[in-house]
Structure 1
Amino acid sequence: MITWPCVLKLDGDDELVYLDSPKKLNIECQALIWGEDDVVIDAKGQCYALQASTDHSLELRPLPQTLNLQEVTTLIQKHEFSQAQTCLIKIHFSSVQQAIEALSH
């Protein structure tokens, strides 16, 4: 079961998209061209593949990959660097959920 909030990590791009609900995921994915290598990472670090269902809705398929706090922090550091908004040295989190929620601002 997916734990919200989440981030969408587009393959080949350092920018992350903050997602606070399934509704937000659907809105973002309608506006983007997403591919099979893009992943959604939930608040526990679990990764999910995006998949279109037969009724054209969006589904998340769990992947065997789970990211730990350091891996999520590295993704967020790359995201912030690409945005040129935050000093990377100041980026520290105590949990994956806290790291993801930091993107909501």
Structure 2
Amino acid sequence: MINWPCILKLDRDDELIYLESESELNNECSGLILSHEDLVIDSEGFTYSIFYNGSNTELLNKQVQITVDDASKLIQRHEFCLAEVCLTKIQFETVSDAINCLK
């Protein structure tokens, strides 16, 4: 069971997309060309492959859970792209905290 909110991590792109719900995921996917390497990462750190058929998104649990350190690194790379925050100050207690900072 996916734990919302989530982030969308596109392959070869450090910018992340915050997703509050499955309907937001469907809206985002409708405007993207997805790769097999793109991931949804839920608030518990579980990763999912994305399959979009043109109207609905299906997520397949990859049985891999990222750590809070991995989540912090993703957020740091995301913020570096935006050039708005001091990267050394970006640290989180949980993956959920990391994802919610993008809200």
Give me the TM-score of the superposition, normalised by structure 2. 0.95
> Which amino acid counterpart does residue 17 of structure 1 have in structure 2?
I
1:23-102 equivalences under 5 Å are 23-52=23-52, 56-102=55-101
- Give ranges in structure 2 of 5+ residues lacking alignment: none
CA contact (8 A) 2:15 2:77 kept: yes
Q: Is structure 2 residue 43 aligned with structure 1 residue 17? A: no
Structure 1 residues not aligned, in runs of 5+: none
Q: What letter is aligned with 1:15?
A: E
The residue matched to 1:18 in structure 2 has which SS? strand
Separation (CA, whole Å) in 1 of partners of 2:44 and 2:90: 18
What amino acid maps onto 1:76 in structure 2?
Answer: I
- Deviation string 1:24-69 (CA, Å, 9 cap, x unpaired) is 000111111111110000000000000135x842100000211010
Amino acid at match of 2:70: E
**1:6 maps to what in 2?**
6
Identity %: 45
| Ranges of 4+ aligned residues in structure 1 off by more than 6 Å | none
Cα RMSD after superposing both structures: 1.2
Q: Assess, with a 3 A threshold, how the Cα gap between structure 1 residues 56 and 26 changes in structure 2: closer, same or farther.
A: closer
